[in-house]
């Protein structure tokens, strides 16, 4: 664990030390050759969006993600998590497993666990908010539809 703590501290230190250089690398000065090149392409493909409609309903949106790494002994580190955003609030559900899962079952196992995290995340949200519309990721939504 000390190795990870040191790595994290070093990484944060690097980002802080090089913050200005990183920021400068991401900004394209308006009078540069790159800006002239990109602005033509950008303007040809940019469509202004209309003013957003402010919904009268309270809407939540949920999606999950996964991270899998295989260890030298064949076991997998599996992280599944899901976020639900409702207004300005976020609801997180996450789980980390270290498990032996064969390669043929891995994707199904990870997907199911991610769907569980999505379900837990949206459940946290609707337990504390009076949500009118809950938008779910396609896999979890599809699985719920299969059961009804």
First to last CA, the chain: 45
> Which of 83, 95, 88, 65 has its CA nearest to residue 124?
83
Distance between CA atoms of residues 63 and 138, nearest Å = 9
pTM, rounded to two decimals: 0.61
Percentage of residues in the chain having pLDDT higher than 90: 44
The pLDDT tens digits for 92-121 are 999 998 999 998 999 999 999 999 999 999
pLDDT of residue 142: 61
Burial class (CB in 10 A: 0-12, 13-18, 19+), 12: exposed
Number of neighbouring beta carbons within 10 Å of residue 79: 17
């Amino acid at each position: 664990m000390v190795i990870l703590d040191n790595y994290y501290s070093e990484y944060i230190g690097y980002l802080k030390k090089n913050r200005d250089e990183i920021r400068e690398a991401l900004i394209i000065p308006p009078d540069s050759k790159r800006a002239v090149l990109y602005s033509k392409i950008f303007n040809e493909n940019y469509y202004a969006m209309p003013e957003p409609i402010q919904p009268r309903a309270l809407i939540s949106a949920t999606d999950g993600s996964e991270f899998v790494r295989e260890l030298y002994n064949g076991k997998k580190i599996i992280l599944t998590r899901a976020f639900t955003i409702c207004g300005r609030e976020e609801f997180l559900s996450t789980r980390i497993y270290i498990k032996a899962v064969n390669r043929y079952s891995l994707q199904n196992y990870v997907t199911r666990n991610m769907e569980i995290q999505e379900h837990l995340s949206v459940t946290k949200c609707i337990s504390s908010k009076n949500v009118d519309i809950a938008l779910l990721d396609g896999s979890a939504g599809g699985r719920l539809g299969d059961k009804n």
